A and B are shown apart, each in its own frame.
Chain A
C-alpha cells in the first residue's frame, strides 16, 4: 500500500470497533493449502486469538488471487481487506489492541529482529522445500497447488508458481543451496529460537506477543504436516522447549476457547 493509502486506512480503522463478522480467508484446508501458507494463516489466527478478537476462517480456492498483496492469509474486517501478519498487526493496533505495547524500545527491536529471523530462515526454508526439492514438488506440491482447477490449468499454475519461487531463491542466494544446507539453516534457526525462549513460557516472559504467534504458526505447521520425509519436523523436535511452547499455545488459545483441536 502507498503511504497515503496506509495513513487513510489507519484513520478509518481507528474509528470502528472490531465487528463480529470478521473473516480470514485462506486456501482450501484439506486439499490445496501448502505448508508455508498454512503456517502464515495459523500465525494470524493465533495472533487474533491472543488479542481476543473473534475471527471466522473461510476457505476459498482462489484466496491467493483475492488477496490485495497476492499473499495469504488476508482478513476482511468491516469494509477493509488487509493481508499478511505485519500489516494485520498494524491494523489491529490502529483499532486499539496490541500485544507488544508493554515492551520497551530494546525489546521491541529484539522482537522485530526475531520475527525477521523466522521470515528469513524458516519461511524461506519452507518455500525451498516445497518448490525446489524435486521429490516434494513431484509428490505433494504440484498436485495440491493445482487441485481445484481442471487440466491443463492446474499444471500451468503450478509451473508458473514454481518458476516464480525459484527466481526469488536465486535472487537471495539460495538457488545453489542443497537440501542438507537448508535443513542445517532450519536447525540453526530453531537453536536460536530455543536459546532465546529458554525456560520462559513465552518469548517475552508472561504474555505472548506477535512473535509467539508467528513462531507457533510455523513450528506447529512443520510438526503436523505430512511431507515426503520427516527431516524437517525432526529438526524442530530436537528442541524440547519449542515443543512445550507449541503445546502450551495450542492448549491455551485453541482448545480452551472451545474451538476444538487444530487439524
Chain B
C-alpha cells in the first residue's frame, strides 16, 4: 500500500510493545496480517490526541476502536483470517464476545480500580506519558470510566456496590482463562499454525495481565498457572515483536 498507515497508541513497558490492551490487539493484528503500520507512541508532548486510543490515521480517514480498525485493515486486503472456515469465523466472534464479557471487567479492575495497583503502577505510568496538566485529570477520568463500565454491566441495581461485584468478576475471569486454556490445548495458535484475529484479541487482553508487575496479583497468579496461555504470549512476543523491544524498558 502506498498510503502510510499511522497508528497512535500507548507505549510499552515490561517487555511489551504496548501496555494498553486495545492498542496491543491492533498492533498484533497488523503484525499477523503484514500491514505496514507506523506506530506513533503517545508521549508527554501535546502532539496527537489521547481520547479514543488506539487511532489509525490514513490519508483521508481516521478510524478508532479496535473492531473498526481491524475491519478497515481487512478492507485494505490485510486479512489475517484468510484461511479460516466459516465456522471458525463464527467461533472467532463468539470467543471475542466471551473475552469482552467475562475477562475484560476483571482486567479493567486490576489495572484501574484496585487502589494499590492503580496508584502505584497504572496512574504514574500513564501520567508520565501525558503533558501537564492533562496528567492530573486524564488518568482519573480513565479510572472512573473503567469503574463505571464494570458497575453498569455487572452491578445489580439498585445497589451498584463494588464489593459484591468484585468477587463475581474475578471468578468469571478465572473461568474464562480456564476456558481459553482448554480451547488452546497444545496448539500453537487458536486455529492451526497461523495466527489470526482471535489470537490478536487473546494476546491483547492477556499479555498486559501477564507481564505488568502489580502489587495485587490474584488474576495474574491464576494466569501463570495456565502454562499454555503463557507460552502463547511468549511465542508471539518472541516471533513478532522482538525487533521493537529494547527501545522501551
Contacts and interface: CB of A to CB of B under 8 A. Distances in A.
A119 B94 CA distance: 10
B87 A195 contact: yes
Given A3-B167, A3-B171, A189-B93, A116 B98 contact: yes
A67 B168 CA distance: 19
B226 interface: no
Interface residues of A, number: 32
Nearest to A64: B157
Interface in A185-202: 188-189, 191-193, 195-196, 198
B97 A196 contact: no
Contacts of B97: 113, 116-117, 119-121
A192 B94 contact: yes
Interface in A151-200: 164, 167-168, 171-173, 188-189, 191-193, 195-196, 198
A70 B159 CA distance: 10
A117 to B, nearest CB: 4
Interface in B54-96: 65, 86-87, 89-91, 93-95
Contact of A110 (B91, B156, B158): B91
Contact of B90 (A120, A121, A192): A192
A171 B153 contact: yes
Contact of B182 (A109, A164, A196): A109
Contacts of A189: 93
Contacts, number: 77
Contacts of B31: none
Contact of A195 (B86, B101, B157): B86
Given A106-B183, A117-B97, A196-B90, A173 B65 contact: yes
A86 to B, nearest CB: 10
Given A167-B152, A171-B148, A172-B149, A117 B167 contact: no
A173 B180 CA distance: 25
B93 A192 contact: yes
Interface string B131-145: 000000000000001
Interface in A72-125: 105-106, 108-110, 112-114, 116-117, 119-121
Contacts of A171: 145, 148-149, 152-153
B182 to A, nearest CB: 4
Contacts of A21: none
Given A172-B149, A191-B90, A193-B90, A113 B95 contact: yes
A192 B89 contact: yes
A117 B98 CA distance: 7
Contacts of B158: 70
A84 to B, nearest CB: 10
A222 B223 CA distance: 39
B183 A109 contact: yes
Contacts of B182: 105-106, 108-109
B101 A120 contact: yes
A240 interface: no
9 contacts: A2-B164, A2-B167, A69-B156, A109-B180, A112-B179, A116-B97, A116-B101, A120-B100, A172-B152
Interface of A: 2-3, 69-71, 105-106, 108-110, 112-114, 116-117, 119-121, 164, 167-168, 171-173, 188-189, 191-193, 195-196, 198
Given A3-B167, A109-B182, A196-B91, 8 more contacts: A117-B98, A120-B97, A120-B101, A121-B97, A171-B148, A195-B86, A195-B87, A195-B90
